[in-house]
């Protein structure tokens, strides 16, 4: 719990002597990095919550009511991954984060989750090559 956060529902903090988000990103990008020390030197991340934010209060009442359904769990994971991104860290699997955002958008737009996107059938006939002169190929470069 935090008294420092005022507008954000949560953030990710690192310890004083660990790597910052920027240093962690730099070390992951190194070509000859030692993978054994990556876990040791990367700082432990702490999730700091703003107990007075409306999102946190609503999630608390949702879990206290016993309705810990998939939506509530997805919202908590979405809140955590958004806190990682806003604190400068990178996500291990951004596809999961994007999928949760898409589910949330679908829910807000009252789109059923069973409905698959409609796609046009693809014509499987191969394209017929056209005959062209010599100037139809690549351009000459000086």
CATH number, domain of 87, equals 1.20.120.790
Q: Is residue 136 part of a domain?
A: no
Instruction: Determine the Cα–Cα distance for residues 74 and 97; give it in Å rounded to an integer.
Output: 10
Full residue range of the structural domain in which residue 109 is found: 10-114
Number of domains in the chain: 1
Instruction: Determine the Cα–Cα distance for residues 139 and 136; give it in Å rounded to an integer.
Output: 8
Name the pTM for this structure: 0.66
Instruction: Determine the Cα–Cα distance for residues 79 and 131; give it in Å rounded to an integer.
Output: 57
Q: Is residue 141 part of a domain?
A: no
**24-72: pLDDT as tens digits:** 887 777 767 666 666 666 667 888 899 999 999 998 888 888 766 777 8
Q: Is residue 19 part of a domain?
A: yes
Q: How far is CA 5 from CA 11, 55, 86, 120, in A?
A: 8, 13, 13, 48
How many CA atoms, within 13 angstroms, populate the side-chain half-sphere of residue 38? 14
């Amino acid at each position: 719990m935090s008294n420092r956060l005022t507008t954000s529902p949560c953030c990710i903090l690192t310890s004083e002597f660990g790597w910052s988000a920027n240093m962690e990103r730099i070390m992951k990008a190194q070509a000859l990095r030692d993978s054994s020390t990556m876990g040791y030197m990367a700082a432990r991340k702490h999730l700091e919550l703003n107990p007075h934010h409306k999102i946190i209060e609503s999630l608390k009442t949702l879990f206290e009511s016993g309705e810990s359904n998939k939506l509530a769990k997805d919202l908590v994971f979405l809140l955590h991954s958004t806190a990682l991104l806003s604190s400068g860290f990178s996500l291990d699997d951004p596809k999961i984060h994007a999928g949760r955002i898409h589910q949330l958008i679908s829910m807000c737009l009252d789109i059923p989750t069973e409905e698959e996107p409609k796609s046009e059938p693809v014509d499987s006939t191969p394209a017929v090559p056209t005959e062209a002169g010599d100037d139809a190929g690549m351009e000459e470069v000086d």
